[in-house]
Amino acid sequence: MPPYLLLSLFLSRVLVNAADLSPVEDYDVLQYIDPLIGSANGGNVFPGASLPYGMAKAVADTDSESNQGGFAYEGGSVTGFSSMHDSGTGGNPSLGNFPLFPYAKCAGDDVNGCVYPKNQRKTKYKPDSVQAHPGYFAIELASGVRVDMTTAHHTSLFRFQFSHNTSTSPLILLDLTDLSNSRQDNATIAVNNTTGRMTGHARFAPSFGSGTYVLHFCADFKSPAAQRDSGIFVNSRASAGVHDLKISRSINGYPLPGGGFVRFKSAPDNTVLARVGVSFISTEQACAHAESEIPHFDFNATRQTAVEQWSEKMRPIRVSRTNIDASVLSNFYSGIYRTMINPQNYTGENPLWQSSEPYFDSFYCLWDSFRSQIPFLTIFDPSSVMEMVRSLIDTQRHLGWLPDCRMSLCKGHTQGGSNADNVLADVYLKGLRDGIDWDAGYAAVQKDAEEEPYDWSSEGRGGLRSWKDLHYIPVEDFDYEGFGTMTRSISRTLEYSYNDFAIAQMARGLNKTGDAKRYETRSRYWQNVFKKDQASLWQGKDTGFTGFFQPKYLNGTWGDQDPLACSNIDQSGHACSLQNTAGETFESSIWEYQFFVPHDMQTL
């Protein structure tokens, strides 16, 4: 039974049941959203301030192991406060560009009495001080500095609050770094000696892909206290006599610390507001974003606008609270909230090509989000999903291929299949049409199925000659037409089968009957790597189950992979991801992949 029909039957049942209930009360659902869920122990989520699909994402960055989203609520120390993040990612920590860091005063009242490199300046925080709500994040450092933050679409607003005493002379630095220390050559910063405005840019590497990107910033400061001085720092030394810096990466593999600072005199109210606009286009555009989105440094008004946008996005869903524990409501609404953190709407922020189409980024990664997030959003927020699909098609139009993963204007790695195909098919079958060129969409998914790219580790599919001729992806395939890691033959066979099924559904809807039959036939190729007599042993004992997927060579003979390899009980320590020494399934065991035939479960 096609999955979209199953979904329709499920929704029909829900609606029938809902019709038997009295109307559900309306209430403020934001009270149940907890952005901190998943911010520890490898959850890697972004728990800070953001608008729905917003580009600016403000949070405290920590040095914890699972800081891919910036802040990890698991001890650690704060290294800075930055405005760009992703959420829920693997790979290296993502973004975290141009962090700010506050000092109440510098030792000896000398700018060189403050510590500038982030590995030395990092500071513990008070765990009980952490607050996170839609559009808002707050924390207090062990130094006594309290920092809260909110955002507009391209701009963050940080509020630094220092205790008052006569020796306080707050200093805010801006560091030309990111979470992964990926800065490349020739970052720049210019500090206006009169206003304290900081502008500049730097080139960075993406966290899970190829290439580089350039990000620009524009930081302004406002305080009841008068500005005392400003300048730049390089490594551990600073000067109020220099206001422009161009800095290389250095030669030791770790970016040389550098950036700017602004220092204030003591005042009865030692609050400093820092407004940071960001842009992938130019510093001028970063400043324009900041000036138009948060013109008056009004923290409460900016936060209220964020609350209103989140309230509007959450408006379609209310569940009964009768006899429901608050923790269940919190998990429910927090999960829905999380679906609108990534991907991010970068429309107007794409320097790679000129287009009137929307541009979304941080599809991190489609091989995951096609399974639940985007299908949910097709029902919950279809207008945004239609813009995402237009963006995906436009990306293919200009770069040649639909992405399987994309971040920071760069191509991400592929898991094995071409899973944007699944996204487009799902959206098409649900009848979403507004502004989408479905002829171009079908051409894009068909190209994935028919043409092998030169670099299939970052787009499209590899091994298509074997797929078409042998009807499976062989272990140790001979592929001279395109290049990628020669592993995952089982999981790639299963993914290609489902990808082709998805394309077949689009073809039928577009009255391309011949195409539909061809891709439906190919969608059954998964059967060619199913070995009916394959057993599974655990600690030398037969589990009693027979029939598992197994790798198969070019000549049709069977290879061998333990069905429990790469499972959560596998203690062998061998590679299971994109390493060239990994096996024939991606980050899961054959036991788990055994169920990835969602389009043909009856045959399985």
308-344 pLDDT, tens digit each: 999 999 999 999 999 999 999 999 999 999 999 999 9
- Lowest-confidence region among 41-50, 161-170, 264-273, 593-602: 161-170
486-521 pLDDT, tens digit each: 999 999 999 999 999 999 999 999 999 999 999 999
Helix axes 489-509, 420-429, angle to 10 degrees: 30
Q: What pairs with residue 542 in β-bridges?
A: 537
Q: Note the pLDDT of residue 90.
A: 82
Task: Report the C-alpha gap between 203 and 210 in whole angstroms.
Answer: 13
Question: What band does 6 get if pLDDT is binned at 50, 70 and 90?
Answer: very low
Q: Note the pLDDT of residue 12.
A: 42
453-495 pLDDT, tens digit each: 999 999 999 999 999 999 999 999 999 999 999 999 999 999 9
- Lowest-confidence region among 222-231, 246-255, 557-566, 572-581: 246-255
151 plus 63 within the same structural domain: yes
> Does residue 104 carry a pLDDT above 70?
yes
Q: Note the pLDDT of residue 20.
A: 53
387 plus 289 within the same structural domain: no
149-208 pLDDT, tens digit each: 999 999 999 999 998 887 899 999 999 999 999 999 889 999 999 999 999 999 999 999
371 plus 449 within the same structural domain: yes
Mean pLDDT calculated for residue range 526-536 = 98
Task: Report the C-alpha gap between 251 and 234 in whole angstroms.
Answer: 15
Question: What band does 91 get if pLDDT is binned at 50, 70 and 90?
Answer: confident
> Does residue 431 carry a pLDDT above 80?
yes
Look at the chain and report how many structural domains it folds into. 2
Retrieve residue 228's tokens. Answer: 């005392």
Residue 158 falls within a domain, yes or no? Answer: yes
Question: What band does 2 get if pLDDT is binned at 50, 70 and 90?
Answer: very low
258 plus 369 within the same structural domain: no
Residue 4 falls within a domain, yes or no? Answer: no
Question: What band does 21 get if pLDDT is binned at 50, 70 and 90?
Answer: low
Q: Note the pLDDT of residue 22.
A: 66
Backbone dihedral region of 325: left (phi > 0), alpha (psi from -120 to 50 degrees) or beta?
beta
Whether the CA torsion 223, 225, 228, 233 is positive or negative: it is negative
Mean pLDDT calculated for residue range 540-565 = 97
Give 255's contacts (C-beta < 8 A, 6+ positions apart): 176, 177, 181, 182, 183, 249
Where residue 406 sits, what CATH number does that domain have?
1.20.1050.60
Where residue 195 sits, what CATH number does that domain have?
2.70.98.10
Is 422:402 a contact under the CB 8 Å cutoff? no
End-to-end CA distance of the chain: 13
Residue 5 falls within a domain, yes or no? Answer: no
Is 423:444 a contact under the CB 8 Å cutoff? no
Residue 325 DSSP one-character state: -
* CA nearest neighbour of 281 among 360, 379, 214, 344: 214
Domain boundary among 275, 296, 317: 296
> Token pair 């606008």 is at which residue?
305
Torsions phi, psi for 30 (to 5 deg): -60, -25
Domain of 203?
Answer: 29-296
Residue 604 falls within a domain, yes or no? Answer: no
Q: Note the pLDDT of residue 453.
A: 97
> Does residue 593 carry a pLDDT above 60?
yes
Mean pLDDT calculated for residue range 570-587 = 92
* CA nearest neighbour of 470 among 517, 432, 527, 421: 527
> Does residue 10 carry a pLDDT above 60?
no
Residue 583 falls within a domain, yes or no? Answer: yes
Retrieve residue 50's tokens. Answer: 């953001």
Mean pLDDT calculated for residue range 33-42 = 96
Torsions phi, psi for 535 (to 5 deg): -95, 170
> Does residue 14 carry a pLDDT above 50?
no
Domain boundary among 296, 315, 336: 296
Task: Report the C-alpha gap between 276 and 286 in whole angstroms.
Answer: 8
Give 573's contacts (C-beta < 8 A, 6+ positions apart): none
> Does residue 370 carry a pLDDT above 80?
yes
Buried b (16+ CB within 10 A) or exposed e, 450-483: eebbeebbbbbbbbbebbeebbbbbbebebeebe
Task: Report the C-alpha gap between 246 and 163 in whole angstroms.
Answer: 34
Residue 19 falls within a domain, yes or no? Answer: no
> Does residue 213 carry a pLDDT above 70?
yes
Question: What band does 9 get if pLDDT is binned at 50, 70 and 90?
Answer: very low
Q: What pairs with residue 483 in β-bridges?
A: 455
284 plus 390 within the same structural domain: no
Q: Note the pLDDT of residue 7.
A: 38
Residue 393 or residue 66, greater confidence: 393
Q: Note the pLDDT of residue 167.
A: 83
> Does residue 557 carry a pLDDT above 90?
yes
> Token pair 């239609």 is at which residue?
386
438 plus 577 within the same structural domain: yes
Task: Report the C-alpha gap between 201 and 192 in whole angstroms.
Answer: 15
> Does residue 4 carry a pLDDT above 90?
no
Residue 235 falls within a domain, yes or no? Answer: yes
56 plus 198 within the same structural domain: yes
280 plus 377 within the same structural domain: no
Q: Note the pLDDT of residue 254.
A: 80
Domain boundary among 244, 263, 296: 296
Q: What pairs with residue 101 in β-bridges?
A: 173
> Does residue 41 carry a pLDDT above 80?
yes
Average pLDDT, the chain: 94
Residue 329 falls within a domain, yes or no? Answer: no
Residue 498 or residue 90, greater confidence: 498
576 plus 483 within the same structural domain: yes
Mean pLDDT calculated for residue range 92-107 = 96
Retrieve residue 99's tokens. Answer: 């962090």
Mean pLDDT calculated for residue range 445-458 = 97
290 plus 436 within the same structural domain: no
Mean pLDDT calculated for residue range 63-76 = 94
